[in-house]
Amino acid sequence: MIKIISLLLFPLLLAANGYPHFTTKDFINLEKKSGRIAKNRAMDYQQKVESLKPYDQTKQLNILNNYLNQLLPQYDAVMQKQEDYWASPKEFLQTGYGDCEDYVIIKYFSLLKLGFDKDRLYLTTVHELYTGGYHMVLSYFKKGVKSPLILDNLSFRILELSKRNDIKADTFINANGVFKIDKNFKLKKIARASKQYINLMKKVQKNR
């Protein structure tokens, strides 16, 4: 089973390295389908990510987090007429609106484009301790740092998980599987793969 999942994800991960990328034809089609604002948003995004390549990782993280947090939030039930819909980055840029998962996903793919290690990035479900609600953030396990850095659409500050007293991490998801974290910030695998993650990668491959 593990081998089957690995074979399924490998070509999808290769495809994700440069995703999302828009060609001139893509921009033309996007304007026809969703209007000039959507086209301009996608163009601006592509230019912004490209402009970050000369910077160090700390600056890339901060600028990208602030930039993408400016897109307006919207609940899945409003945008997609279904709960917990994981939009691809291209879908997110097309609409300009998204739920917490959508911010996490576009940040994840943007950091992959910038050369971040895929094994250090995790889509992370958390519990909001003050509201009791569900939320998702992006975790980055920076080399030499135990506690992961948290990129959150509800905060323009990137802090270590150990300093986020308002959330409690639940699951960590990437191509390697689904994990839990212990009090020493070590990850333990609890599942071979996330079905939603695999479906997302399939969608990315289909709509490159």
- 148, pLDDT greater than 90: yes
Assign 85 a pLDDT band (cuts: 50, 70, 90).
confident
Entry pTM: 0.89
Residue 66 CB: number of other CB atoms within 10 A? 12
Domains of the chain: 2-206 (3.10.620.30)
Distance of alpha carbon 27 from alpha carbon 14, whole angstroms: 23
Residue 206 CB: number of other CB atoms within 10 A? 10
Question: How confident is the model over 50-65, as pLDDT tens digits?
Answer: 999 999 999 999 999 9
What is the SS3 string spanning the chain?
CHHHHHHHHHHHHHHHCCCCCCCHHHHHHHHHHHCHHHHHHHHHHHHHHHHCCCCCHHHHHHHHHHHHHCCEECCHHHHCCCCCCCCCHHHHHHHCEECHHHHHHHHHHHHHHCCCCHHHEEEEEEEECCCCCEEEEEEECCCCCCCCEEECCCCCCCEEHHHCCCEEEEEEEECCEEEEECCCCCEEEEECCCHHHHHHHHHHHHCC
- 77, pLDDT greater than 70: no
Distance of alpha carbon 100 from alpha carbon 69, whole angstroms: 10
Question: How confident is the model over 165-200, as pLDDT tens digits?
Answer: 999 999 999 999 999 999 999 999 999 999 999 999
Name the packing angle between helices 24-34 and 36-51 (round to 10°).
140
The first and second tokens of residue 182, run together, are 């212990």
Distance of alpha carbon 88 from alpha carbon 132, whole angstroms: 27
Assign 13 a pLDDT band (cuts: 50, 70, 90).
low
- Tell the residue number behind the tokens 């080399």, with chain if given: 143
